[in-house]
Structures are given as C-alpha cells and as structure tokens.
Structure 1
Amino acid sequence: MQGKYLDIMRNGKGFIAALDQSGGSTPKALAAYGIAENEYSTDKEMFDLVHDMRTRIITSPAFDSEHILGAILFEQTMDREIEGKYTGDYLKEEKGIVPFLKVDKGLAELSNGVQLMKPIKNLDELLERANDRGMFGTKMRSVIKEANEDGIKEVVSQQFEIGKKIISSGLVPIIEPEVDIHSADKEQSENILKQEIKKHLDQLEKNEFVMLKLTIPTMVNHYKELVEHSQVVRVVALSGGYSREEANAKLKDNEGLIASFSRALTEDLSVKQSDEEFNAALRKSVESIYDASVNKDR
C-alpha cells in the first residue's frame, strides 16, 4: 500500500497542506481564524477548537485530491476522528490524500546560529502509533538563522540521523531545515545547506528515501540538484512568513518545487464565515497554491 502513496507523492500534481500547528503555535492559528485566547480557558478547549477548524478544512469540498497530494497532521489530530474515522483514514479513504505526522517536539534555544530540534523522547512509540494510524510519512523542523557552517552541519546531521530511524520504521521522513526568510545571509546559508544535504543524501542506501521541506531559495532553482536526486521523493517549499501571494510568486519560478504551506493556505479563512463563504475562500487559496506548484516538471 505504501508503494501506491509513494507513487502519488513522487509523480502526482498538487501540493501538501500543512495542518500541523502544535501546542505553541495553536493560539496564533486560532487567532488568525478569528478565535481569541479569551474564548477558551484550558488546553482541552483550545485543542477541541483547532480540531474543529481542521475538520472544517478537511471536510470542505475545496480540500480535494485533484489539487492536494498530502496533509501534515499534528499528533492530536492524528489521534482524533473525523466523521467516525481516524483523521489519516478519513484523508486516505474519503479524500484520496496522503497523511503525514509532525513528530518533532519544537525547537531548542539558538546556538551557532541555528535552532536544533528538542529531543524526541517517545519517537519509537510515536512511529509505531503513526503506522497504526495509517501515516505515510513524518515531518520535523529545525531553523537556520545565520550562515554558520558548524551550526548548519549540526542541523542536517540531526535531521538525517532521526530520518534514518523513521525510514527503518517503514515511513518516509520529510526533513525540514528551514532557513529564516529574514536572515541577513540567507543565500549563503542556502549554499551551505545544499552542500550538507547532498552529502547525506549520497550516503543513503538505494532503498532509503526522504522528502525535503525547504524555504523558497533566494537564487531561482538553487535546489534543482536535490529535486533530481535519486533518494528524494519530492522537494516541497514552506511559505516561511511570506504572504500567500508572495510565496506563490516565488514558488512559480522554481522547477520541481511544490508547496507545503500552512498559514498561507488558511490566511483568508474565518470561523465567522458561512460554509459557502468558507468553502469559496478555501477553494481560491487551494487553486492558487496548486497553480504555483504545477507545470514545472522535474
């Protein structure tokens, strides 16, 4: 069954929806949706509200496999149900969309110009549960703020070390070493990052595959070599703080790069919208991101 989804991810036309805001970023996601922090008082209420938001997105007719290849989920979203099915099963069976799980536990403090991932203490149990819940792959994020070679090497080494454990569990990792779009030496960071990623990709076995989630590069087609690498299923781009319009414009210039947007996907959605208004706004967003992602064959 994984082979079917591997083919979709490798060859399908569309993009990946990132619906994986976790505890720290959930209040911001809810606020953007029109739900202020004073409208809930406990974590349970907060997570119930965000699951309602995600359910509304996923069940919308605008959220379809014609435009969307995959969706990245937060751990609690994976463990919850939509219309009587676990979210991953609903995505696959009702929507034809491939589910991924965010596995990182947030970022460590800034050191050497980067933020590594915090330790993932329950990784083995989490990967077992991800398999039980029908996930195809995982995602984990680090952040690069400065062109510090030692720091960037450390980020990439950590990502691939954990990535290989994920591969051994039968899942495909999305490796996400984000370069901060506000970095003063963004292009230099991207040069170092590409070299380091390439080194680790070249060390993978023929049956070991990864996906990459990267900031849209300063230099157009900078990551083309990674897009074409035999061990890379797909290279996807995060919006990284750009507006949807700006992210789409930058994405269009990069061959083989498809979107994996979060905030940019949902920026026009509101809890106050009628279903008709909500679906129309989501449709407009989905179609614009799809358009920026396709017609750029590898």
Structure 2
Amino acid sequence: MNTREMTTRIATGQGFIAALDQSGGSTPKALRGYGVEDSEWSGDDEMFAAIHAMRARVITSPCFASGKVIGAILFERTMDGLVGGQSTGDALKARGIVPFIKVDEGLADEADGVQLMKPMVKLAALLEKSVAAGMFGTKMRSVIKSANPGGIAAVVAQQFEVATQIIAAGLMPIIEPEYDITAADRAAGEAILLAEITKHLDALPEGQQVMLKLSIPATAGLYTLLARHPRVLRMVALSGGFSTDDACARLAQNPGMIASFSRGLLQDLRKGQSDDEFDTVLGKAIDQIASASV
C-alpha cells in the first residue's frame, strides 16, 4: 500500500485499529497476561523478544488479516523486528493493515490534574526512522485525571504542537489525550477537552489532518461532531481499562468512533494455546470489536 491507499484505508475502512504498542514499563504485565512469567526471561532483550513473539503470532494469525483490522500501532522495537521474514511494517501492509508507531517517551509527573508527555528528545530521529520503515502515522499519549481547565488546555496544546512536527515529517499523527475513566469529574472534564480539541482543530492549516484517540466518553455521543470535522481523518477509542464486553457496549453508543484496543483485543490470548485455540479466541475478539466499531 502506498500513502494514498493507506489514507483511504484508514479514512473509510470498516474495522478497527489494533494497539500493539506496549513499551518497556507495561511489557512485563502484558507478558504475564499472556502466560509468560517473569522467571521466563532475563533483561530487556529477552523481555522484548518474548513480547515480539506474541505480537508476531497475532499478526500472522489468519483472522488478523480478515479485513476487520485496518491498522496497528507498534512499539519501536516491534517496528524494528521481523515477522515471517519481513519487516513488521511490510508484514502488516501485506495483510491490508496500516502501520503506526508510538513516538512518546512516557509521561511526566502529574501537575494541574494531568500528565503531560515527557520531552521527546528522540522524536526527530524516530520520525526519520519511521518514514524509512514505511510507517503511515504515529501515536502519542497524555493522561487527564481531573477537570482542571488549565491542565487540559496544556495537554491539548502539547499534543497539537508535536503533531505539527509529525505532519511536517510526512506522517499522520494520532493525538491521544486519554481521560482516566475512574475520574469522578470525567463528564465535566470531557466537555472541556472537547472545546480545547475543537479550538486546535479549527486552527490547523487547510490541507492538514490529524487523528484522535479518545477515552470512550461518559456522555454517549459527546465526540460525534469531532469525527465529522474536516481536519480529522478518523477518530478512534481506547478501551481505557474497560473489559472487552464493556468497552464494546459503550463504543457502540458513540457514532463516529471506531476501536483502537489493546487489552480488549489481547486479554484472552495465552502462550500455551494451540494455534487453533489461539486463532479462535483472537478471531472472536476481532469480530466483537469490529462489530462495535460499525
């Protein structure tokens, strides 16, 4: 797929974007969930080899190429690796799946009710590397924990500031200001977030677009108009800690949003499953998430 074909696939494809971008801090937990105990690996190289083997098994599963997965978000080491003798990006594109790369370097300490992204000192080099690897876009995550107008404004401003660098590099940015689903004031804070995102979208130059990755809102349909904004290529939802069933039920109440789930996609996969068992479990999750994304 070339850039035009990938743009069309993401803009109009029926399905969802898989999040396969667990990085160093979240990898041990992801491996435990998959049935790989800490004692089975030693050091970062073995840890990342184990998670890459899991991701490669997902990507090469026949059901992953069913057409219902239109994109996949990767961690840098996953992008650097091989799947079936191909680069991960090429392996995905051969299956009709558009590749994205996680570019943030983690979260700063909480201040004003939010966690901004840490300074992205490696961004320029990673963007150059990602273009060479055939990535279509990027993803970067901040977290909002309370309805603090100043904090929310800072999160959105930072996301859009970095997005301009990503667009200039020739990649499509996914902006992800996650709202903590356990926050008591989430409905009020999400209204502030909606206003801030709209303000920055309206200020984007003509011809530029971004993607949005947002927590499924407390008020169903809150973000529907964002999906129709001319500066938004596609709007996706994160599962945010909801179970697969709960996330899918909530997503189905939000027109204009499709899924970009990690836990909701992978939670029932285990290393010890036979290939047939693995494919059956993964296929069921894919079908459920794709149906909720229609």
TM-score by length of 2: 0.99
- 1:147-158 alignment runs, 5 A limit: 147-158=147-158
Partner amino acid, structure 2, of 1:192: I
Aligned to 1:44: 45
**Bigger shift: 64-73 or 165-174?**
64-73
Q: Hey, what's the Cα distance between the residues in 2 that align with 1:278 and 1:65?
A: 15
Aligned to 2:6: 5
Aligned to 1:91: 92
Tell me, yes or no, if the aligned pair for 1:18 and 1:73 is still in contact at 8 Å.
yes
Tell me, yes or no, if the aligned pair for 1:215 and 1:240 is still in contact at 8 Å.
yes
- 1:1-298 alignment runs, 5 A limit: 1-93=2-94, 95-294=95-294
Q: Hey, what's the Cα distance between the residues in 1 that align with 2:10 and 2:130?
A: 18
Partner amino acid, structure 1, of 2:271: V
Match of 1:157, SS? helix
Tell me, yes or no, if the aligned pair for 1:236 and 1:260 is still in contact at 8 Å.
yes
What's the CA shift string for 1:259-288, capped at 9, x where partnerless?
Answer: 000011001100010001000000000000
Partner amino acid, structure 2, of 1:151: G
Task: Return the offset for 1:35.
Answer: 0.7
**Bigger shift: 124-133 or 34-43?**
34-43
Task: Return the offset for 1:220.
Answer: 1.0
Any stretches of 5+ residues in structure 1 without a counterpart?
none
Task: Return the offset for 1:222.
Answer: 0.2
Tell me, yes or no, if the aligned pair for 1:34 and 1:271 is still in contact at 8 Å.
yes
Q: Hey, what's the Cα distance between the residues in 2 that align with 1:71 and 1:33?
A: 19
Q: Hey, what's the Cα distance between the residues in 2 that align with 1:225 and 1:288?
A: 25
Task: Return the offset for 1:41.
Answer: 1.4
Residues 65 and 125 of structure 1, relative CA distance in 2, 3 Å threshold:
farther
Task: Return the offset for 1:219.
Answer: 0.8
Match of 1:63, SS? helix
Task: Return the offset for 1:65.
Answer: 4.8
Tell me, yes or no, if the aligned pair for 1:65 and 1:97 is still in contact at 8 Å.
no
TM-score by length of 1: 0.97
Partner amino acid, structure 2, of 1:264: G
Tell me, yes or no, if the aligned pair for 1:19 and 1:74 is still in contact at 8 Å.
yes
Match of 1:17, SS? strand
Task: Return the offset for 1:234.
Answer: 0.5
Tell me, yes or no, if the aligned pair for 1:227 and 1:256 is still in contact at 8 Å.
yes
Q: Hey, what's the Cα distance between the residues in 2 that align with 1:183 and 1:27?
A: 26
Match of 1:58, SS? helix
- Identical positions, percent: 56
Runs in 1 of length 4+ with deviation above 2 angstroms? Answer: none
Task: Return the offset for 1:39.
Answer: 1.4
Q: Hey, what's the Cα distance between the residues in 1 that align with 2:71 and 2:227?
A: 18
Q: Hey, what's the Cα distance between the residues in 2 that align with 1:51 and 1:183?
A: 33
Task: Return the offset for 1:62.
Answer: 1.1
Any stretches of 5+ residues in structure 2 without a counterpart?
none
Partner amino acid, structure 2, of 1:290: A
